[in-house]
Structure 1
Amino acid sequence: MKKITIAIDGFSSTGKSTLAKQLAKHLGYIYVDTGAMYRAVTYYAMQNNFINHNGFDKEALIKDLSKITLTFQFNINLGYGEMYLNGMNVENEIRTIEVSSFVSKVAEISQVRAKLVEQQQEMGKNKGIVMDGRDIGTVVFPDAELKIFMTASAQTRAERRYNEMLSKGDNVSFEEVLKNVQERDYIDTHREDSPLVMADDAIEIDNSHLSREEQFQVVLDLFNNI
């Protein structure tokens, strides 16, 4: 089996992680959810009162970065690695609307990005990896053999995210989720350090009207043609 680097970038709630997990399982590749890493740092900042709706003490978080250890531990029942923060499984805690409301602000910080990009590049040095995020094809792995950029309308993405959160028992409104999606889009595309942009050699996939299996087959065909 050929071993390449597959970089999947795109807007929030486009199903990047779902697609990446499918590909990794099918190909026997390592899967890395970089969004979970930024969410874990955000959760750490929240737990230490560095960020809340009243403000953000960026310098305090930067000073504490050396105290943050992130690892993925494989869950055989799920078929992928779960996010651990300083030895604690935080997979559920990092998926809340509260974390979503702050994560783009944390991801703007250059020192945070530098720390995580270094770890991500180390994870993928031997190829055979599927990594999804915002800057995988542009910053983390600019030489990736297959780059995908996923998009869909904000309305469609908010509906998907809303239904996902309802299924988990979260008490949220659709308007709240849509506002969060739109705010994250703006911050992700306007930040100074590694803004969300499509790499010149990436293949754009608008999955507004594609099923999970349809988009999986599209990308698998691209892989097979490399």
Structure 2
Amino acid sequence: MAANSSVPVIAIDGPTASGKGTVAQRVAAALGFHYLDSGALYRLVALLALERGIAADDADRLAQLAATMRPRFAGGRIELDGRDVTDAIRTEEVSAMASRIAVHAPVRAALLETQRSFRQPPGLVADGRDMGTVVFPDARLKVYLTASVEERARRRYKQLIEKGIPANIATLSQELRARDERDSKRSASPLKPAEDAYQLDSSALSIDEVVARILDWYRKV
């Protein structure tokens, strides 16, 4: 991390379906910065594990996958082993697997330097669950973005329906609560705001309003 420590980073953390991915992409576009979707890396490990029959509790083999995979991010698409997996890593099955493997410290450690390698001039906007606490503790701006479970379930429902995937809001709410519990109580990099993070509840805010707020904070730090 030291080699690129002068490159500014905006770290946006938060729970599932808080809107951090969409917001982070728009902030990055507004500033001309690079963008890191850290969750995609865990989803890639999950996809490989499912394809190769590796159990969610096999931390050593999962960490080996994480350390040796060589994904390529370009033009909003993600390639792995010469194939486009952009849509494949967004299925509910992969999402559930990613949540289970993200609790393992060896997996998180294996992906640490990969995430830090995205820190390139002129700057980086990174979203995830431990961007401001672990991956980029020296980020120029740290934001913890959240929303009510009900609002997050509604957003997730809308995303799935638009993709033609059947969904139930009550079930999604239960899954989000379970995911929050798992993410916040894991021993390795638990989900929590950095001590110096700006906290923002987006339940009643539009994406444009959230982006504007973050850009304003960045210009003032």
Letter in 2 for 1:26: A
Q: What letter is aligned with 2:22? A: T
The structure that is strand-richer by fraction is 1
Which SS does the other structure have where 2:93 is aligned?
Answer: helix
Residue aligning to 1:202: 197
Question: Is residue 193 of structure 2 the alignment partner of residue 189 of structure 1?
Answer: no
CA RMSD between the two structures: 1.8
Q: Does structure 2 retain, via aligned residues, the 8 Å contact 1:17–1:33? A: yes
* Pairs aligned (count): 216
Do the aligned partners of 1:148 and 1:205 also contact (CA within 8 Å) in 2? Answer: yes
Residue deviations 1:103-156, cap 9 Å, x none? 111111112111211111122154600000000000011010100001111111
1:21 matched to which residue of 2?
Answer: 25
Instruction: Name the amino acid aligned to 2:27.
Output: L
Counterpart position of 1:96: 91
Letter of the 1:193 partner, please give it.
A
Residue 164 of structure 2 corresponds to 169
Measured after TM superposition, the shift of residue 63 of structure 1 is 4.3
Cα pair 1:151 1:206 within 8 Å, conserved? yes
CA contact (8 A) 1:50 1:58 kept: no
Does the 8 A contact of 1:100 with 1:180 survive in 2?
A: no
2:34 corresponds to: 30
Unaligned runs of 5+ in 2: 1-5
Query: For 1:1-16, what aligned pairs fall within 5 Å after superposition?
Result: 4-16=8-20
Q: Give the partner amino acid of 1:41.
A: V
Q: In 2, Cα distance between the equivalents of 1:56 and 1:3?
A: 36
Question: What is the match of residue 151 of structure 2?
Answer: 156
- Structure 1, unpaired ranges of 5+: 76-80
Q: Identical aligned pairs, as a percentage? A: 39
Under a length normalisation based on structure 2, what TM-score does the superposition of the two structures give? Answer: 0.91
Contact 1:5 1:127 (C-alpha < 8 Å) held by counterparts: no
Q: Which amino acid aligns with 1:71?
A: R
SS at match of 2:117: helix
Provide, for residues 65-120 of structure 1, a one-character-per-residue CA deviation record: whole Å limited to 9, x for no partner. Answer: 444222312x2xxxxx3222233221111111112222111111112111211111
Alpha-carbon contact 1:101-1:180 (below 8 Å) kept = no
2:3 is aligned to: none
Q: TM-score, normalised by structure 1?
A: 0.89
